[in-house]
Structure 1
Amino acid sequence: MNKDTTRQITNILAIVLALAVNVLATTLPLNNQSTAEISDRFLVYFVPAGYVFSIWGIIYLGWIAFAIYQAQPAQKENPRLRNLGYLFALSCLFNAAWLFCWHYNL
């Protein structure tokens, strides 16, 4: 397996992991605490309306679109995607990690 294929597979696995952790954080929830319950414990003087958080749906759709795009055989040797390297996968891992930190008070 060459570096380009490894990068493509890593990016796909990273988005799957990030989406899975986000779904688990909402449905389980992680550590028996929902993200909203944890957030409500903090005194915040300005909280956006609930609909504002729907931006995450758009972000996740963008992530999925990018993951599919970069995984196409025609994009395997795309110099822009090569330059991007593993930064996309890293951003997905950071997204999953912050949820664990948030839910487990780390």
Structure 2
Amino acid sequence: MFDNLENTLKLILEKLEYNEELLQLSISTLTTKKEVARFLNKSDRTIDNYVKNKTLKKDIHYFYNEKNRVEFIPFAILKFKKAPQVISAPIIDITKKIYHSSVNSITQGLKVG
């Protein structure tokens, strides 16, 4: 009975190691913007915006290589996909309208809406 269990555990361990090797091979290509965009199901422009607004952080998710190009860190991108921390744009209050001072003096007392 335990022999069967032991063989099953060995088989599971072998498959786990095989899957780990496949994962290593597949994420090693996650160094370019195009590959990262494809992996995250985002556009290249979105990846640019993530870098610009610091959703993807320098020296955590990417670094600049010797050719001064952005190179992404595969394990950090994998971790980001599991738990993205997308920074949303700030909400702007558009209820208050700002006019030129001459317009303000003319419309003072009028209901502008």
TM-score under structure 1 length normalisation = 0.29
Instruction: From the two aligned structures, give the one with the greater helix fraction.
Output: 1
Structure with bigger gyration radius: 2
TM-score under structure 2 length normalisation = 0.27
Relative contact order, higher structure (CA 8 A, sep 6+):
1
Instruction: From the two aligned structures, give the one with the greater strand fraction.
Output: 2
